[in-house]
């Protein structure tokens, strides 16, 4: 059996993908007895799939998984985890933003008994001003609603086979991989890394794409925002009852101006 699988979600990575996969293989090879790379083409419309199928690396089996359309990074990760056969599975980006140099240390931590190794960034990713404000807002909301501080967490992780198997039992819950490992339990180790800058001109996600992603991430973990909305709804209803009662009282006691009670009651009812 294979000792290590490296799952790499790829969306329009054409340029540079071949070099990245080779670099990943070269930095990991010495740490394990055998390894494979599972490159998942997330419905790219460039030559990503071509490059994956043609990629040859010494002693490393590069296996391609091709999704029928662009399902998004989370789905690509799930597909990769399902296909991976290693006793340890590493998930990392295709653009070398996650430095392969961390891989030998992740494997060492795994061999020392860790079942999950989290790659934690020590410096924030280089993004636009708007993105960085939006990102901070997202993590604040996530912390408030789901009670987890994920500011330094990333999708760069190593999972033991037993953890992959646990995830396989509820794949529909894997909507926000970054936060999932923290909520799972298991013996975990955090390793710091500084994200390589200038690996890519821009994030592959659009602003609206990120917004949708953020909402899904929170909803995947907690129903607390839903309950907050429920409380707001009940308070609004209670207020309407009080005001309605007051309006009726004024009408009955003849202190209301002609026609006003009808308008107020209709407004409160809607």
DSSP-based three-state secondary structure for 119: strand
Bridge-based pairing of strands 116-121 and 153-160 is antiparallel
CB 94 within 8 A of CB 10: yes
Q: What's the closest the beta carbon of residue 235 comes to ligand UDP, in angstroms?
A: 39
Q: Which of 36, 74, 97, 160 binds Mg ion (CB under 5 A)?
A: 97
Binding of ligand UDP at residue 203 (CB under 6 A)?
yes
List 24, 25, 36, 72, residue binding ligand UDP (CB under 6 A): 72
What does the alpha-carbon distance between residue 76 and residue 7 come to, in Å, rounded to a whole number?
9
Nearest CA to 48 out of 93, 95, 13 is that of: 13
Dist. CA 227–CA 66, nearest whole Å: 39
- What is the C-alpha to C-alpha distance for residues 57 and 37, in angstroms, rounded to an integer? 10
- Give CA–CA dist 247/245, Å, rounded: 5
The correct pick among 4, 36, 42, 142 for binding ligand UDP (CB under 6 A) is 42
Residue 135 touches ligand UDP, criterion: CB under 6 A = no
CB of 184 to ligand UDP, least distance (A): 21
Each as own residue / partner, the long-range contacts of residues 102-105 (CB below 8 Å, 24 or more positions apart, any chain) are 102/156, 102/191, 102/193, 103/6, 103/24, 103/27, 103/28, 103/31, 104/27, 104/28, 104/30, 104/31, 105/191
Q: How far is the CB of 40 from Mg ion (least distance, A)?
A: 15
The rounded distance, in Å, linking the Cα atoms of 106 and 114 is 9
Partner whose binding site includes residue 72, from ligand UDP, Mg ion, none (CB under 5 to 8 Å by kind): ligand UDP
Q: Which is nearer to ligand UDP, 202 or 269 (CB)?
A: 202
Among 36, 95, 153, 160, binds ligand UDP (CB under 6 A): 95
CA distance 161 to 185: 15
Q: Tell me, what DSSP letter sits at residue 257?
A: P
90 binds ligand UDP (CB under 6 A): no
- 153 lies in the binding site for ligand UDP (CB under 6 A): no
9 binds, among Mg ion, ligand UDP, none (CB under 5 to 8 A by kind): ligand UDP
Q: Total binding residues for Mg ion by CB under 5 A?
A: 2
- Could you tell me the smallest distance in angstroms from the CB atom of residue 94 to ligand UDP? 4
Enter the tokens of residue 199.
């690996």
Q: Considering the complex, what minimum distance in angstroms separates the CB of residue 39 from ligand UDP?
A: 10
Q: Which residue is nearest to Mg ion (CB)?
A: 97
Partner from Mg ion, ligand UDP, none contacting 146, C-beta within 5 to 8 A by type: none
Minimal distance, residue 98 CB to Mg ion, in Å: 8
Instruction: Name the residues that contact Mg ion, by CB under 5 A.
Output: 95, 97
Instruction: Name the residues that contact ligand UDP, by CB under 6 A.
Output: 9-11, 13, 42, 70, 72-73, 76, 93-95, 97, 200, 203-205
């Amino acid at each position: 059996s294979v000792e290590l699988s490296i799952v790499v979600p790829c969306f329009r990575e054409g340029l540079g993908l071949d070099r990245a996969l080779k670099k990943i293989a070269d930095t990991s090879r010495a740490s394990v007895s055998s390894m494979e790379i599972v490159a998942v083409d997330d419905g790219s419309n460039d030559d990503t799939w071509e490059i994956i199928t043609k990629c040859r690396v010494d002693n490393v089996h590069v296996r391609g998984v091709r999704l029928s359309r662009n399902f998004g990074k989370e789905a690509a990760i799930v597909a990769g985890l399902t296909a991976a056969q290693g006793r340890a599975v590493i998930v990392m980006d295709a653009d070398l933003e996650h430095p392969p140099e961390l891989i030998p240390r992740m494997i060492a931590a795994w061999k020392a008994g860790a079942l999950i190794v989290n790659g934690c960034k020590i410096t924030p990713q280089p993004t636009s001003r708007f993105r960085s404000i939006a990102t901070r807002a997202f993590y604040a909301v996530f912390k408030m609603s789901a009670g987890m501080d994920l500011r330094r967490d990333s999708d760069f992780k190593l999972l033991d086979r037993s953890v992959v198997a646990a995830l396989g039992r509820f794949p529909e819950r894997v909507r926000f991989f970054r936060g999932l490992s923290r909520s799972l339990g298991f013996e975990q180790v955090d390793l710091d890394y500084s994200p390589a800058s200038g690996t890519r001109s821009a994030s592959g996600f659009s602003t609206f794409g990120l917004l949708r992603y953020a909402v899904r991430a929170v909803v995947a973990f907690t129903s607390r925002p839903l309950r907050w909305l429920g409380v707001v709804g009940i308070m609004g209803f209670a207020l309407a009852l009080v005001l309605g009662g007051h309006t009726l009282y004024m009408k009955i006691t003849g202190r209301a101006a002609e026609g006003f009670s009808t308008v107020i009651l209709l407004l409160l009812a809607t």
